Structure 1
Amino acid sequence: MELTFLPGEKTAKRIYRHFSINTTVAAEQPTTSNNAANKLEFFYIGKKAANIDSLIRTFESGYAAESVSNARSMLKRLLQNSKNIFIPDVIILEVNASTDFRELQQFLATDTLLQGVPVVAEVSGLTEADIKRCKDCRFIDEILVLNEQNRSALIRKIGFLKKVKQQFLVEKNFTLEKSLQAYKDRPTVIKRGFDIVVSSSILLALSPVMLLVMAAIRMESKGPIFYISKRAGRGYKIFNFFKFRTMEVGADKKVAAMSHLNQYDAVQEGPVFFKVDNDPRITKVGNFLRKTSLDELPQLVNVLIGDMSLVGNRPLPLYEAASLTTDQWAKRFMAPAGITGLWQVKKRGKKDMSVAERIELDIDYADRYSFLYDMWIMANTPAALMQSSNA
């Protein structure tokens, strides 16, 4: 992809300036909804050219500077440009053992516009001690290694962080100090320990049942035993989600043709969920597995490896999650992803549930979750397992 480098003042060291995609080249690319969603701009602080090259390939345009001091000067000039004020969608800070976070933190706190920009720490090659230093720094909203991120996942992650960070600034109930870090600081040691003990115990105890289920699926229809899909969990973390296959092979490709049967409200804009009562794609074995919730058992593997928790908000298919990164809904992703949760206990199997009701319950859980609250939800889960609907 052809790039244009805008001229900058000469310095002894190389300082990257503005990178923008050549419009004539971009015009040759097919226009899709994904392209429209990818119009984000980065501001990178660091010296690793490979990281900058990766960001240029991922984002539409951006700036980069070698140090925090250079970044401060550049951002000040860009903010003072009366004709074209530049506000980055994300600031990515390349962290090393000697990085002093205070200078950047103090600078960002002086400008209201910059306070709404998520700050991501790039930590490739760092020790656990240095990564812990990043986690302890409250103005850093996410920690990642750029070369481990695929393009679409990074775009979704940044879009999510931006929406949530800006929402914290406009809502009266939140302050800048109670940012994303406040959610990450919520005690999780007991919850995680409980998840590991319970999930491993259930997997061991029910392994004969799982073997029988696997045999039944294999005998009824050709195709994989497990259904594996990409889901978005806490902090828009995308992971492989495991279930026993309950539908015929290729069921995902029939979603558009069955949109008129959607149990949720049909909307042109806003959150999108898809669920069909008495779905014709479900196999006979699958119908039994869904009514008994045995299809959920492989998710215990997700819990054991840390992608999910026993209790939380349901991890969403990417097409559903993408419709929830709006200001009013993004907060539901601040809670852990879970097998069971508040919405399942209160609304599971009810046909009168609206999209708004479901998301409000997710947001309510994100605001209130604790270990004791999880215990209450788990205590009320058994009654919801034997549901009357196979949707």
Structure 2
Amino acid sequence: MARVLMKGTEAIAEAAIQAGCKYFFGYPITPQNEIPEYMSAKLPKIGGAYVQAESEVAAINMVMGGGATGTKVMTSSSSPGISLMSEGLSYIAGCEIPAVIVNVMRAGPGLGGILPAQGDYFQATKGGGNGDYRLLVLAPSTLQEAVDLTQLAFDLAFKYRNPVMILADGFMGQMMEAVEINEYKGQEFDVVPWALGNMEKRGKRTILKSLHLNPEDLEKHNFKLNEKYKRMQEEEVRYEEFHAEDAEVLIVAFGTTARIAKSAILNLRKEGKKVGMIRPITLFPFPYDAVKEKSDKAKHVLVIEMNMGQMLEDVKLAVGERAPISFFGHAGGIAHSVQEIEDKIREIL
């Protein structure tokens, strides 16, 4: 299709449909309500189904059931809603069921407020539910990238038989930009060996479970999952370098915050100041090696987030003692301005 002007939430929904998602289970919460609204209108027309569950807890368990059949399923929510889904996410990861989850972040903690924030980094990358599980976490910074990553998310979910999260924020959900959304063929993954409902082809009953009462069996299962997460770290790291090759001040930021930081970098570059950025696209797996390499050449690393310093911990692990690190955060739904970032960098220089 040609480039069309769309709201972020609707672009994500249409991208999922073009990627082959026919089943959506969810519950409304601001600021992502346009995703379920869009799905409720479009999916029945293409032979799919939209189900509004009675709660986020019910929705994520419906996702588990739908995904267990080997079909492309999706849900979306915002911060407190994702908290309610955390137990189900742990179950889905434990059962090795592919699913795509979109979190359009709002300010917290608790109910907080409906304005944008990035306070769910820990929840997404370190696991909000119980046990040793990981989500693949993709963080777009433009609506076109949100479209592309949403479609990629279904590929990755089936490649690893693992839930994949799109971590956006309220700005991205509510802004409008021109995007191009095409039918996405993706990779073909043979789901028959593990999906439910294929007893005739498989020759025996399929059992998907996360409950292993024998400790030796459970440990073996955890080691198996951990090998998969290691493979993600080897094969799926994604990031963008922006004027990072000679940066004396290296910014690390993701999502909308990185987009704002780009404007500050361009302004400062015009003044001859060597400022650049590493933008993680995958928050898990985190681009430790890229941040480590670029921080070797930098005199200072500046982490900018709409939270109180969550990605900061991963940046510290990557940088170590190579360069001093500063943090510049906002919270409560307040975003950084270009001028604020410029002023902070001038202060560092």
What TM-score comes out, normalization by structure 1 length? Answer: 0.31
**Quick check: which has more Rg, 1 or 2?**
1
| Structure whose residues are more often strand by fraction | 2
What TM-score comes out, normalization by structure 2 length? Answer: 0.34
Structure with larger RCO (C-alpha < 8 A, sep 6+): 2
